[in-house]
Structure 1
């Protein structure tokens, strides 16, 4: 069964071939054009269009590594439908290894964007108008910001039953209930009637082999489930659902020593870490306030009073 014509970024994508298009962002002050590569693999058979996107924050390189590995293993070659890969979305931030766009804005708070707004807003607008309408599913890969290290997880809204089912198919270690954030890519895509999963894993400025493996395997599961590629879904274990959560913050400033492993289940009063000064004069233990799963740890060596240290589940 032949597919109907598929046109994106103003070009018709041929069946059964790999097509690389460029989403033009802007020009540098040197007049060099900055382009975002968009890699499209379209089969000869009808099927959904899935977008795999990473690097919306330029320093979140684990997501870039996941899509790179998906392409390397040819997982993005569908037997039905179309798979679009954007390994580096915020090309500016990736070049300079920063979270933000050159105008200082967080690209993931600029959607759906504006034709005549800031540089980040114009780029968000291009995506919203020229790519988002033509996809059915999106997997958006992220990491924790700065030194915050996330256990591999899928984030989705508890009202999004279709998203929760896909999250279960992805089979991450944890599924975290997370409300849509206004002006985020997820919020915009959901309002357009599309299904989106947000993957979080590791921290910025790293390539974590374990996190990349989780992202690749989970994406493969989803693509098999949707009928885009062949294979068997791999279920390693039942994901832990984090329905409510809170951050445990530092009560003191000092050097921070972590005493537990990310992803652990801890009991009330268990020692999670130690805050101490560099002069050997005080040592303060950080205790678990209740039984909880740990799904994010701030791995910075120096903390200030009030800094977020551990992201904890609130067990029912």
Structure 2
């Protein structure tokens, strides 16, 4: 092999086809390093599709992750949009495709930076979890010396998050369950709250930030972020995709990437918390509620029977609330989640101590380069 082939500065060739750029990675690119994508190097008024060598597979070759940079003709913020952090959550992929296909780059102020399939190994297998069995969305921002999923999460965060000013992470329910169209956001953040409201969700759930999620990793970098939960896994649902696209475009209008008026069509129900109700026994599960139902304390939610139809257990609502998600697979074992019950109401305000800590953290993050530790 020639010395030129080992040149670390060598640039991949680019094929221009149908007004898009496709990066051709040479076969010798085997040393994968996590470094931020520089949005400023992409042409304005263009949509650039490319594969980025993020990780290594079992052959020692790069595992390439698809990225899209849609850079507007006018300056503005960078909105990051991600999908398929869980490999079988497909609605988000189509939402990204539709948003970009309908985008007028001459009218776009700023850039949209998309990762339509974050968890490529799981997507290839049609499964939720990473190839080592770990839930990728419990391990962000990852660790460079961690288990396989942690190293992958680390590489993704180092590459994708630094150029983003805002983040939308697209998800669906997990296997055997179904969701309303709802948004998870830290409602103590005025920007995240406004983003959530502009999605037009049925429900907004206050989740301050759970360690391990991509949304929380973004928040640690002072990047306002929301998670949109849109529908069911392993399918593409036209209505959810349409509603998701409208919601994303509304957020883009809010953030100044698009001009015009957002299409606000509903007033979402705000929940300050949620809890999955679980079975304590096994059997055939029959539920007595629907998505988005409001339930009252001690209302019968579900019951189980044995294989001969004899009644086993009954399950009642522990408090008033609204149904965010539910199980659709009727076979239960002890501990099966069957009702995601939201508690309606505004979250408690942060204590002065927590508010000061958040402000100090934001100031610290704003004063340093965006790298993921």
**Is TM > 0.5 for Structure 1 vs Structure 2?**
yes
Normalised TM-score (structure 2) = 0.76
The one of 49, 53, 65 aligned to 1:24: 53
1:107 paired residue number: 136
Which residue pairs with 2:275 in the alignment?
246
1:198 Cα offset (Å)? 0.7
Residue ranges of structure 2 left out of the alignment (5+ in a row): 1-34, 346-373
What are the superposed Cα offsets for residues 258-315 of structure 1, whole Å, 9 maximum, x if unpaired?
3321011123444333322221222644333333211110111101133221111234
CA distance in 2, matches of 1:25, 1:103: 17
Looking at structure 1, the residues matched to 127 and 106 of structure 2 have their Cα atoms a distance apart, in angstroms, of: 31
Instruction: Indicate the larger mover: 69-78 or 133-142.
Output: 69-78
Deviates more, 1:133-142 or 1:279-288: 279-288
The Cα offsets for residues 219-271 of structure 1, whole Å up to 9 and x where unpaired, read as 01001111212343111111100112222222432111233210111234443
Measure, in 2, the Cα distance between the counterparts of 1:273 and 1:192: 42
Question: Are residues 245 and 105 of structure 1, via their aligned partners in 2, closer, same or farther at CA, if it must alter by over 3 Å?
Answer: closer
Structure 1: 5+ residue runs without aligned partners? 1-6
Q: For 1:277 and 1:202, how far apart are their aligned partners in 2?
A: 30
Aligned to 1:4: none
How far, CA to CA, are the matches of 1:132 and 1:314 in structure 2?
A: 32
CA contact (8 A) 1:54 1:88 kept: yes
In the alignment, is residue 80 of structure 1 matched against residue 115 of structure 2? no
Cα distance in structure 1, aligned partners of 2:340 and 2:105: 33
Deviation of the 1:120 alpha carbon: 2.4
Contact 1:41 1:78 in 2 (8 A): no
Contact 1:41–1:77 (Cα < 8 Å) also in 2: no
One of 210, 217, 230 as aligned partner of 1:188: 217
4+ runs of 1 displaced by more than 4 Å? Answer: 75-78
Rounded Cα–Cα distance in structure 1 between residues aligned with 2:234 and 2:182: 18
Partner-residue secondary structure (3-state), 2:74: coil
Residues 1:41 and 2:74 aligned together: no
Tell me the equivalent position of 2:97: 68
Contact (CA 8 Å) 2:42, 2:71: kept in 1 or not? yes
Structure with max Cα Rg = 2
Deviations 1:79-107 (A, max 9, x none): 21001121111111001012222222222
Tell me the matched-pair count: 310
8 Å CA contact retained: 2:36, 2:163: yes
CA distance in 2, matches of 1:78, 1:102: 41
The alignment status of 1:237 with 2:293, answered yes or no, reads: no
- 1:149–1:201 Cα contact (<8 Å) kept: no
Contact conserved, 1:255 with 1:301, CA < 8 A, in 2? yes
Which residue matches 2:37?
A: 9
CA gap 1:134/1:55 in 2 versus in 1, 3 angstroms: same
Name the residue aligned to 2:191: 162
Deviations 1:94-125 (A, max 9, x none): 01012222222222222222334333223222
Match of 2:288 among 243, 249, 259: 259
For 1:24 and 1:30, how far apart are their aligned partners in 2? 14
Secondary structure, aligned partner of 2:208: coil
- Counterpart of 2:356? none
RMSD of equivalent CA atoms: 2.3
